[in-house]
Every structure is written in structure tokens, then in C-alpha cells.
Amino acid sequence: MRKIAICILAVPALFVLMVSCGGNSGSGRKQGEIYGECFKDNTCNEGLVCDTEHNTCVRDEDVSDDAEPDDDEDYDAEDNSEDVDSENVDEPEEDDAIYEETLPEDVSCWEYRCKDGKSYCGYKENNKINGEIKWAKIENCAFSECIASTGKCGCDSSEDGKIHCENKNLRICSNGRWQVREKCKAGCDSATDGCKPWEDPDSGLIWSVESNAMIWQDAAGYCDKLTEGGYSDWRLPSISEARTLIQFCHGTRTGDRCGVTDSCLSPDCLDYNCDLCEPQSDGFYSKMDNDHTNWNLLWSASEVSGSAILAWGIELYTGSVAARVKNEYGVARCVRGDNHRQLCEGLPEHAFWNSASNIFSTWDGSSWQPSLTGVYNETSSEKECRFKCIPGYKWDGYKCISSDDLPECSPASPTPCKDYSSGLVWSSKSSEKTNWGDAVDYCFRHSENVGKVWFIPTIDELRTLVKKCSKAEYGGICAISGENDFLSIYDVGERETCFCYEKGSESSEYNKFGDSGLFWSSSVRSDNPDYAWGVFTGYISYAGGGYGVEIMNSVKTYDRGNVRCVAR
């Protein structure tokens, strides 16, 4: 057990602080030290034992109390917490003192002490100089270091900016507290206090740790000079390569319809598909940072064509592709590897890839081989970028044009089908009932006749499928409509204006497909975003009841319904 020299200075009418004069406040972990790696023979420094399951040196009570989390248990980034640092802990070898959980009011701390991951105040009753010192907890420092000289939980302020690895997290000392800088996708490298480079199994590209915030002009130079994981051939990714890091955002993922690619860098390439997703925190849309993201913008090396001040990047907060001013701040993730999967480019409107949206292609110094530019071809290929027209369209040699050969929608028609009265194309019904969020995601992911662009219908589009109820049909007296911004519950007026029912009828009679049950729309209640509008066909329990149809609102997370996707 190491010994700590305690220097106590007593000054009447002032606090007396206990200062640790020995040890160091470093944030690194060495072999044999607490929460460092065990020696090869599964031993640690005196007073510590080896937790062989995690190859980590801990106190004996930590093992029995299970105080240390499993290797794959993530820290909460918002806790800004860190493990107890033995160098900063003042814990006597023999301690008969009484420790209280509550600090009395109007007392002064004469000393501070760290014990069992908690910070204690040493006080004297009535603040008498010669009184007996009692101890009361002032802060819980579980999984965070306790600094005996100050009684504060966190890292020594002199270590601000110091980085070290902890399990799968890269941590930085900031303002005296250990904070998660980044979750290491491939794990931490404790030898270098950095994340290990991570290889994306989808693209084969290898990615570095996230940089500090910097302007675009500095990002390329940062990657050129970077040495990480034994590699020095890093570069700033192109916009197509940066898009391979996007997940869960339909429109900007690899192969999706956002027009901004390495071959299309003008402002005209930025279309509505590049910004479809709702904001999500904690790096939800990034493959690298699904637990934590420090910065919203990730720079690419691709400049906006015709502009000296704009460059392309991806916004991790929304999963979007965006043109940003070069002197704004963002982060760089450097990439390496060139003989890997690349995005196919040039997908025309009303077409889909047949069948690979990315292929293995090599840069020969002047172009990609095979070419990344898509060509029309009815024969599918995984090695070349080929596309064909979606059902209802045909290739005229230059573009996909409407052929209007889809069947009329009916209870017996195959899908996709077209409701020629509205001009809308409809998909098959979802096989399972889901909540509203999953229904939205279902249509974004829908692959009926691969590549067709599907959306969850608006309440107005859904009302075009209603029949036998003029009040609830599209354009009927029911006021609920996104076109008029009448989406509040208060816009309904009298409930009777939004439903019809008839005793002895069947619910299937009120829908062009013969559907029954709740069907979701994309339209959310304007006065309460927890609810969304939909169309219900079934038993209407009102004034005697009967089967019919109703425009109704349902709880997005609780209620369950089906969905038919629409192509506009």
C-alpha cells in the first residue's frame, strides 16, 4: 500500500485543507496500477488484484461489489465520469473514522478525503479549532477520480486536454472533468491513448479517429500529416466516401438518391433527397458515432463546383449532405484505401439500380474502372453500375418516361397499382401492424419492385382511398387536411363530419382496396406531435354503432396500424 504524506496547515477562522504532496495527477494508466492492465502473470501492484475477466487491476472490494463495469458496458457520455485514480485518492490504511452521508449546515470543511469513490468533508462541530474531525459526504465520485486536495470529483485541471483510453471510450480531461470525446468503434489503443482505426465492412474503407474542430482549409492538411494505427497514408474523404458513413437516413446513405456524389458537385446536384431525415442526437445517423458525436459537421475533400468558398460535408445531426462555408468549423475523419466499393452515380429519375448501388472500382489516375456512371441495362449485374426503369415507366434512350401500364387499384389487383382517379401509385399493405415511427421507416425501406421511391401517404392522399363516405373522402366536409394546414384536433369541429357508418355493412366496403383497420398517414397533429392522423375502417361505436370509416388521430408510439406506401 503506497503511503501519502499529508501536510496540514491550521489557520484560525480559515479553512484547513489537506494537500497530497506526493504522487502524480496523471490521467494515464500503467500496467499494474489501479484500472491499468494486469501483468502477464495476472498480478498487480501491492494492494490490488487482477480482474482476469477484464485484464484490469482493481481493489479487492471492487471485484466483490462489481463496481467496475463490463468491457462492453458503455459509460453515459452525459455523466462525464471516470474511474477512481489511485494517485489522487487519500485513503488511510487504518481508518476508524465515522463517515456520514449528509453534511450538516453552516459548517466549514477543514480537510478533504476520498474514500470508496466518494469525496468527504472533514468538519468540526461548531467549527472549533481543537474539535474532533468528523466526515460527511459532499460528492459521489463513482467511476470518476476524486482529488483529495480539493475534494472535487474529476481530473486535475493541470491535465486539461489530456486524452486517454477507457474501455471503448476515448476520454479527454476538460475543465477538471473526464468527458467522453469519442466511442472507439474498433476499441481503444492504450499504448497511444487513441482509438484504433476502424474498417467499415460495407465499403472496405478504413477510418481514423475524429479530429478536433477545424476549418475546411486545415482539414486536408491534417489528414495528409496524420499517423495513426501505424498508417501514414491518410487523406480527407470525398463526398461519396463520406456518405458511406451515413446509416438509417434514407436518401443520403450509400446508393440512395441524393444527387451529390463525386461526379456531381454543383449546387444543382443538391435535391430534396439530400435532406429527408428528422434531427437525431448522439450520432444516430453515423456508423462511427452511434453513442456520441462532438460536432455536427463532417468535412469532405469535395468542393462545390463553381464556388471558391463552399465545400461539401455531411451533417451528422440530420444525416444530410450540405454545402458549407469553408471557414466554418467541422471535424475531419481521415480515410485510407482506394480499391474498395464506390457509389454508383447518375441514377435517372424513375429508375433503380439493377442490382448493385456500389461496386468494386479502382482509380487508375484519371478515372474509376469499372466506371461508376450508371447505364441502362435490363440484365442485372453486381460488377457494373446498371439501372432500369421502375414499373410504370420505360426507357426512351435518354430517360424513363411514363408508360401508364400499371393495373387499376382494386381489392383483387396486384401491386404496385395505380389509382387513375388520383394519379397515385400504391404499394401492397404492410404485413404487420406497427407504431407510427415504424410505419414511416417501413415506407422508406420498402423494396416492392426494387428501387421504387415510396413514401408514407399524407392524410389527404390516404383519403383518396376512402369510398362510400363523401364526408371522409378527399375534398369532403371533414376539415382535416394537410393542404389547408388543418391538422389540429380543434379543426375537426363536430365529430360526425369525419365518419360514416351503417348497420349491416362491412368495413371493407369503405376502402378502394377493401382494407380494414387503422392505416397511418404522415400527417402529425399540429397541436400535439405525439399523435398522427390516419383512416380507420371498422366498427364505429357511436350512437348505436355499425361498420364504417373515420378520419381519426392515434398515439404515435402506442397505437398499432398498417400502412400502404405511395409513389407520387
Within this chain, do residues 58 and 128 fall inside the same structural domain, yes or no?
A: yes
Coil, strand or helix at 508: helix
Q: Give mean pLDDT, residues 439-458.
A: 82
Within this chain, do residues 393 and 461 fall inside the same structural domain, yes or no?
A: no
Within this chain, do residues 477 and 541 fall inside the same structural domain, yes or no?
A: yes
Q: How many domains does the chain contain in total?
A: 3
Instruction: Give the pLDDT score at 2.
Output: 35
Within this chain, do residues 410 and 556 fall inside the same structural domain, yes or no?
A: yes
The whole-angstrom separation of Cα 311 and Cα 219 is 11
Within this chain, do residues 517 and 428 fall inside the same structural domain, yes or no?
A: yes
pTM: predicted TM-score of the whole model, two decimal places:
0.45
Instruction: Give the pLDDT score at 95.
Output: 64
The residue range of the domain holding 52 is 6-159
Residue 310 belongs to a domain? no
Instruction: Give the pLDDT score at 93.
Output: 44
Within this chain, do residues 426 and 558 fall inside the same structural domain, yes or no?
A: yes
Within this chain, do residues 460 and 545 fall inside the same structural domain, yes or no?
A: yes
Within this chain, do residues 380 and 524 fall inside the same structural domain, yes or no?
A: no
- State the first-to-last Cα distance of the chain, in angstroms, to the nearest integer: 73
* Least-confidence region, from 27-31, 496-500, 539-543: 27-31
Within this chain, do residues 397 and 541 fall inside the same structural domain, yes or no?
A: no
Question: Residues 162, 27: contact at Cβ < 8 Å?
Answer: yes
Instruction: Give the pLDDT score at 316.
Output: 86
Q: What secondary structure, in 3-state letters, does 226-266 show?
A: CCECCECCCECCCHHHHHCCECCCCCCCCCCCCCCECCECC
The whole-angstrom separation of Cα 211 and Cα 208 is 9
Residue 118 belongs to a domain? yes
Report whether pLDDT(512) > 90: yes
Average pLDDT across the chain, whole number: 80
Instruction: Give the pLDDT score at 157.
Output: 63
Q: Of 402, 418, 438, at which residue does a domain stop?
A: 402
Report whether pLDDT(71) > 70: no
Report whether pLDDT(435) > 50: yes
Within this chain, do residues 451 and 379 fall inside the same structural domain, yes or no?
A: no
Within this chain, do residues 22 and 75 fall inside the same structural domain, yes or no?
A: yes
The b/e string for 170-200 (b: 16+ C-beta within 10 A; e otherwise) is bbbbbebbbbbbbbbbbebbbeebbbbbbbb
Report whether pLDDT(451) > 60: no
Instruction: Give the pLDDT score at 532.
Output: 96
Within this chain, do residues 25 and 152 fall inside the same structural domain, yes or no?
A: yes
The b/e string for 104-122 (b: 16+ C-beta within 10 A; e otherwise) is eeeeebbbbbbbbbbbbbb
How many helical (H) and strand (E) elements, i.e. helices and strands, does the chain have?
Answer: 5, 37
- Nearest Cα neighbor of 308 from 291, 289, 327 is 327
Report whether pLDDT(533) > 70: yes
Instruction: Give the pLDDT score at 147.
Output: 66
- Nearest Cα neighbor of 148 from 68, 91, 83, 100 is 91
The whole-angstrom separation of Cα 271 and Cα 259 is 6
Residue 41 belongs to a domain? yes
Confidence of residue 431 (pLDDT cuts 50, 70, 90): very high
* pLDDT per residue as tens digits for the range 271-287: 888 988 888 877 788 88
Which one has a higher pLDDT value, 150 or 210?
Answer: 210
- Nearest Cα neighbor of 151 from 171, 131, 176 is 176
* pLDDT per residue as tens digits for the range 485-503: 999 999 888 888 999 999 8
Q: Of 369, 402, 435, at which residue does a domain stop?
A: 402
Residue 54 belongs to a domain? yes
Looking up cell 470529483, which residue turns up? 153
Q: Give mean pLDDT, residues 109-131.
A: 80
Q: Which grid coordinates belong to 70?
A: 463490463
Question: Residues 525, 487: contact at Cβ < 8 Å?
Answer: yes
Instruction: Give the pLDDT score at 562.
Output: 97
Residue 107 belongs to a domain? yes
* Least-confidence region, from 49-63, 301-315, 400-414: 49-63
Q: Which grid coordinates belong to 562?
A: 398498417
- Nearest Cα neighbor of 491 from 476, 478, 473 is 478
The whole-angstrom separation of Cα 226 and Cα 246 is 23
* pLDDT per residue as tens digits for the range 471-484: 999 999 999 999 88
Which residues neighbour 541 within 8 Å (Cβ) at sequence distance 6 or greater? none
Element containing residue 425 per DSSP (H, E): strand 424-429
Instruction: Give the pLDDT score at 62.
Output: 56
Instruction: Give the pLDDT score at 145.
Output: 64
Element containing residue 146 per DSSP (H, E): strand 146-147
Q: Give mean pLDDT, residues 180-205.
A: 84
Q: Of 124, 159, 194, at which residue does a domain stop?
A: 159
The whole-angstrom separation of Cα 281 and Cα 61 is 37
513 φ/ψ angles, rounded to the nearest 5 degrees: -95, -5
Residue 148 belongs to a domain? yes
The whole-angstrom separation of Cα 290 and Cα 380 is 34
